[in-house]
Amino acid sequence: MPRTPAPFAPFEWMIAWRYLRAKRAEGGVSVMTWISLLGITLAVFALIATLSVRAGFRAEFVDTILGANAHVTVYHMQRVDADGNTDRTLPEYQEMAERVRGVEGVIRVAPLVKGQVMATANGRNAGVEVFGIDGADLAQIPRVADPETARGEITRFDEGIALGTGVAQMLGVGLGDQVKLISPNGVKTAFGVSPRVKAYEVSYIFSAGRYDIDRTRVYMPFEEAQLYFNREDVADELEVIVAAPERVDDLSTPIAQAAGAGALVWTWQDASGGFLRALDIEDNVMFVILSVLVLIAAMNIVSGLIMLVKNKGRDIGILRTMGLTEGAVLRVFFICGAFTGLIGTALGVALGCLFAIYIDPIFATVNYLSGGGVWDPSIRGIYALPAKLQLGDVLAAVALSLGLSFVVTIFPARRAARLNPVEALRYE
């Protein structure tokens, strides 16, 4: 009794390979094969490139938030004195900071004095937000204390003030220049409150990587900020940095309890959660849209296989009369379609990964050819188009492309397998 060959035997691969190498007389099949291959390649490339850019944008945005802002802000609920004046300051901020430092998961607590003033220099004005902070605490803010993006020595911070690069550019100042800060809440006199004007030397210029931060933020030594904003012996809030920012919600209650009665907390997820949720929705929508593109590209494989089955009807009839089973015929044409999807997916993955790895020179070339201004940081918030290649995104693209390619290949392959050899050879 003859032994039945195992599925995907060598002769099945040989027949499929011969069919893929269409003759010149069957140029239509060859063209459809190349179109299918190109379509799958471009669709997978677009999917991986888009997912990597979206992941890079999210990672960069979150990093600029966590690297230049408090993970948790502790402040006091509003109080009203006998004269009807409202107050939110922290009178016992040092004791409160010590209690918060004792919470497990908290790695740094810094008292802050905050205020909005007008900065002026060289006849230019800019509205800025001043953060009064101790020099040692400022040196632990990653995005601000980064020596690769900053100018000046952060150890000289106590000798003046630190400006964001955007503020320095708007005012036209550099290291060693004088900047006047004008606050409407100055000295109280018999005639009312007079504005406070004081000049400071620019001792440090930083870039936090965020357009809005660099154009509005100024750091001032903590004690000087207390004097300037009339905050003697008090602080406005506590800046809390935790070890696991992604789990900050778990620490909100312990931090509030440690801070004491009347204390309120505001996490970075509270401040930016809406934007991050919008990014998640956009990521899902983009994946669905690009998945449709992959499906459309995979449908080209169906068109090519249908043409191939029609052109090879005589061959199928001969092979069937020679004893080739329906399963063997199905596998031959399945190999033809799956091989196209496999090669197209591999090329698309290679192009997508190369795009993500070399996005900086690619983007620089596009920006140069378009005359500049392709990326506007005032709209996007960050200064460059980032990309982050993640294994999960690549595997998702590969699984989607191969899955669709294999599934759509089954239908024309089944049609070829069920072709009646008598009908196929009747008019030959």
Taking the alpha carbons of 204, 209, 211, 213 in that order, is the dihedral positive or negative?
Answer: negative
Both tokens of 106, joined, read: 């908290």
- pLDDT tens, the chain, 428 aa long: 455 666 666 766 777 677 666 554 444 456 777 888 899 999 999 999 999 998 988 888 888 888 889 999 999 888 776 666 777 889 889 999 999 999 999 999 999 999 999 999 999 999 999 999 999 999 999 999 988 889 999 999 999 999 999 999 999 999 999 999 998 876 666 556 678 899 999 999 999 888 889 999 999 999 999 999 988 889 999 999 999 998 898 999 999 999 988 899 999 988 888 888 888 888 888 888 888 988 888 888 887 777 777 776 666 667 666 666 767 777 877 888 888 889 999 999 999 999 999 988 888 888 778 776 667 676 666 777 788 999 999 999 999 999 998 888 888 777 777 766 655 555 55
Taking the alpha carbons of 213, 214, 215, 220 in that order, is the dihedral positive or negative?
Answer: positive
Q: How many Cα atoms within 13 Å fall on the side-chain side of residue 324?
A: 24
162 phi, psi to nearest 5 deg: -110, 130
Which pTM was predicted? 0.77
Contact (CB, 8 A) for 405 and 52:
no
Computed over its alpha carbons, how large is the radius of gyration of the chain?
33
Angle (CA) 143 147 153, round 5°: 110
Taking the alpha carbons of 129, 131, 132, 135 in that order, is the dihedral positive or negative?
Answer: negative
